[in-house]
Amino acid sequence: MIQINLWKLQMLFPALTAFVLLSPSQALAHIEQGQAIGFITGLHHPWSGLDHVLAMIAVGIWGAQLGNPAIWLLPVIFPIVMSLGAMMGLLGIPLPGIEIGIALSGILLGAMVLGEVRPKIIVAALMVGFFAIFHGHAHGTELPAGQSGLLYSMGFVIATGFLHGIGITIGLIHRWPQGRLALRGVGAFISFMGVTFLWRALA
């Protein structure tokens, strides 16, 4: 648990107040259009790109290899930072080399699983967070017209979380020697696929 100073928390409220007062109007909240389909689209979207799927699973497996607290910290960091990346995309902030970044995420995260690399937790978190920005920027902004942004976002984040969960579940075989070997094989596969994504991105 994290102890924070209440006076520091107090500093948050003036900032939030300023944000509220300066926010643009026209949010069009509560309009019920494309609600269910928005959720389904968001839920489906992360599965539609193999690069995204493999990176999410690699994060889960790596977290399982690293054990506590990485097993839960990495999958918590990824969706939040991914959303930041998506927000950058929505705000029109350009991010160069998105496809290359996504391909590199596959290569490096796969390599971490392959080598069962155990960096400090802050290094692992920074690495996962760095690549999450690319995934968010590329995938989080693709809302089809007429669909609910809220439910699309919920579906997108939940699906991403489930992909991490699949990775963690696969990573549970780490407790057996054969399982560790198998995980390294999965890491090699993810890394290899990352190389093919990079090849495509550069071609």
Partner 1 sequence: MNGNKFYPGIFPGLAFGIAVLCSPSSADAHLVTTGMGPVYDGIGHFLLTPEDLVPVLALAIYAGLRGADSGRRAMFLLPLAWFIGGLAGSVVNVTVSIPIAAISFLILGGLVAADFCLPAAVVTGLAIVLGGVHGFLNGAALKESAGMIGLMGIMLMVFVVVTVVSAFVISLKRPWERIVARVAGSWIAAVGLLMIGWAVR
DSSP 142-167: -PPTTS-HHHHHHHHHHHHHHHHHHH
Rounded-to-integer distance, Cα 162 and Cα 122, Å: 23
Residue type, 154: M
Structure tokens at 100: 């290359």
* Contact of 28 with 76, CB cutoff 8 Å: no
- The site map against partner 1 for 16-55 (x = CB under 8 A) is xx-xxx-xxxxxxxxxx-----------------------
Query: Rounded to the nearest whole angstrom, what is the least distance from the CB of residue 41 to partner 1 in the complex?
Result: 13
Compute how many other C-beta atoms are within 10 angstroms of the C-beta atom of residue 136.
27
- The site map against partner 1 for 134-153 (x = CB under 8 A) is ------xx-x-----xxx-x
| Contacts with 125 (C-beta within 8 Å, 6 or more apart), sequence order | 70, 73, 74, 77
Query: Rounded to the nearest whole angstrom, what is the least distance from the CB of residue 56 to partner 1 in the complex?
Result: 13
Query: Rounded to the nearest whole angstrom, what is the least distance from the CB of residue 76 to partner 1 in the complex?
Result: 4
Interface with partner 1 by CB under 8 A: which range of 69-77, 94-102, 113-121, 190-198? Answer: 69-77
> Is residue 169 involved in binding partner 1 (CB under 8 A)?
no
Residues engaged in binding partner 1 (CB under 8 A):
1-4, 6-7, 9-10, 12-14, 16-17, 19-21, 23-32, 72, 75-77, 79-80, 82-84, 86-87, 89-92, 140-141, 143, 149-151, 153-154, 156-158, 161
